[in-house]
Amino acid sequence: MKWMKGTFLLLAANILIMVTLSLTVPLLINIVLPMFGIDLRGSVDLSSLVWALVFGFGGAFISLAFSKQMARAMLDCRQITQPRSQAEHVIYGSVQEIAQRLQITMPEVWVYESPDPNAFATGPSKNNSMVAVSTGLLSNLHEQEVRAVLAHEMGHVYNGDMFATTVLAGLMNTFVYYIAMWVRRFFGERDQAMLGFGLSIVLQIIVSVLASVLISWFSRQREFGADAFSAKVYGKDSMISALRAIDRWVSRSQVEYSSQDALATMKISGNSSGFMHLFATHPPIEARIDALERL
């Protein structure tokens, strides 16, 4: 029943956002902006804006509502409900301890098969979430380093990073859809429908790329916040040690994390270089260590 409640609250929030914008946008266009000499009356199609909001926020919030199910479907994972080994006791106990400190519902705890030392958290809310760690994390990091990584993921849960990222993605999607529909309508009224269609596709691609840069920047900032949360829970030395252990494995294995990884923004580690740094979901590990050392 909890997932149904979470889904209902997300959909309700989505509807409230659309209703609020549908009420405030006409007020802004017809009254507020003309007071400052800006006249957009007749140039903004409110029905297109509403549909853009539906598509933009709808898809983003539906993805968030079912993020736990989608993550489990993409991975070979198993849930820990009754710890049976020392490693499972460390994972389960750490998440349970932090959840109790924060007075939130304990997230589901999962382990997934992957050689790279990584972990992620997802879910529609801090009281309806999951934390997952890779088998590579357990085999390459010491116990206190694993605890630090789990605290990092719990920082994402407590800070509501998944929800915030979803709202930003929904807003960016809305801009993309609205611009495309506006261009098609503008040229369609001038009997240049094919030109409008082609131009809208080009603009969608350009705006989507720019939106990805902004979303990636936000993702990098939230990594610093989650690192700082881990430092508060277990001390910055543990988190620094964990990051260095992950960095050693990446350097030794010469792994290039794919920007197409559907779970990339959730995980603790990722890398990129050159121009692609703009699309990186994670800051360089050196920058994260420097930030922790300055705490």
DSSP class of residue 267 equals: B
Between vectors from CA 263 to CA 236 and to CA 178, what angle results, nearest 5°?
A: 115
Instruction: Using the structure block, give the residue that is written with the tokens 């509501």.
Output: 160
Quick one: which of 30, 65, 244 has its CA closest to 170?
65
Buried b (16+ CB within 10 A) or exposed e, 7-44: beebeeebeebbeebeeebeeebeeeeeeeeeeeeeeb
Q: Where are the alpha helices (DSSP H) in the chain?
A: 2-27, 33-35, 46-65, 67-74, 86-102, 135-140, 143-159, 161-188, 193-234, 236-253, 285-293
- 232 Cβ neighbours under 8 A, 6+ residues apart: none
Q: Of these residues, 143, 153, 223, 286, which one is catalytic?
A: 153
With the CA atoms of 70, 74, 76 and 80 taken in that order, what torsion angle do they form, in degrees rounded to the nearest 10?
-20
Instruction: Using the structure block, give the residue that is written with the tokens 């993550």.
Output: 71
Quick one: which of 92, 154, 91, 162 has its CA closest to 124?
162
Annotation says 153 is catalytic: yes
Q: Which residues lie across from 122 on neighbouring strands?
A: 130
Tell me the C-alpha to C-alpha distance, in Å, between residue 20 and each of 57, 208, 235.
Answer: 13, 25, 43
Instruction: Using the structure block, give the residue that is written with the tokens 């007071």.
Output: 35
Interaxial angle between packed helices 236-253 and 193-234, expressed in degrees from 0 to 180 and rounded to the nearest 10: 130
Catalytic residue numbers read: 153
